[in-house]
Amino acid sequence: MKRLASALVTAGLLSLSVGSQAGTFHFTGDFADASDVVYGAFTVTDYDSVNLLFTDSYAEGNFDPILFVWDARGNLLASDDDSGPSWDALLYLTGLAAGNYYFGITQFPNWNNGNNLTDGFTYGGQTQGAPYLGASWSLYVTGAASAKILPGVPAVPEPETYAMLLAGLGVVGAVARRRSKKI
């Protein structure tokens, strides 16, 4: 009965995904430790798409998941612990601009340490032992043009990187301008 209810809720949530190039992506796996965080990325190409990220890990008899979404610069956009059915996570995001986004799934109580992807998590680098209740996770991403699981923490450029890039481009531009005046 629990599986039937979970399947019906999943089907209903998947039907909310709209957008011209929208797709639905389903990822599953197992945590080795209660401190694990799985990272992924998705791309939005249509501003009108409804982006829905949700888990069905708890409904399937596993742990209490926490879900996070960051923009391409690593700024936290949303997080959720218990808005979905049972104790599952649900993020309903509308009006995301076209671009790339990151997501993460972990389990309660492994919270993020700040509002940036690079801030880490409560149990980052610490072995906590067996995952609470169960190790299997399941995550859906809808309304995206593409989505994938990443092998580790995504590299987010620091502001200094952008400053160095702009300075370098300025030097290249100045050299090019100087050369054009000599001709």
Task: Give me the pLDDT at residue 100, please.
Answer: 92
Each residue of 98-114: pLDDT tens digit?
899 999 998 888 899 99
pTM of the model: 0.70
Q: What is the DSSP-derived secondary structure letter of residue 17? A: -
Q: How far apart are CA 128 and CA 34, in angstroms?
A: 5
Task: Give me the pLDDT at residue 76, please.
Answer: 95
What are the structural domains of the chain? Answer: 2-157 (2.60.120.380)
Gyration radius from the chain CA atoms: 20
Each residue of 126-172: pLDDT tens digit?
766 655 656 788 888 888 888 888 887 666 555 556 566 677 777 77
Q: How far apart are CA 31 and CA 161, in angstroms?
A: 33
- The DSSP bridge pattern shows strands 50-55 and 136-144 to be antiparallel
Each residue of 54-102: pLDDT tens digit?
887 776 666 788 899 999 999 999 999 888 777 788 888 888 888 999 9
Task: Give me the pLDDT at residue 150, please.
Answer: 87
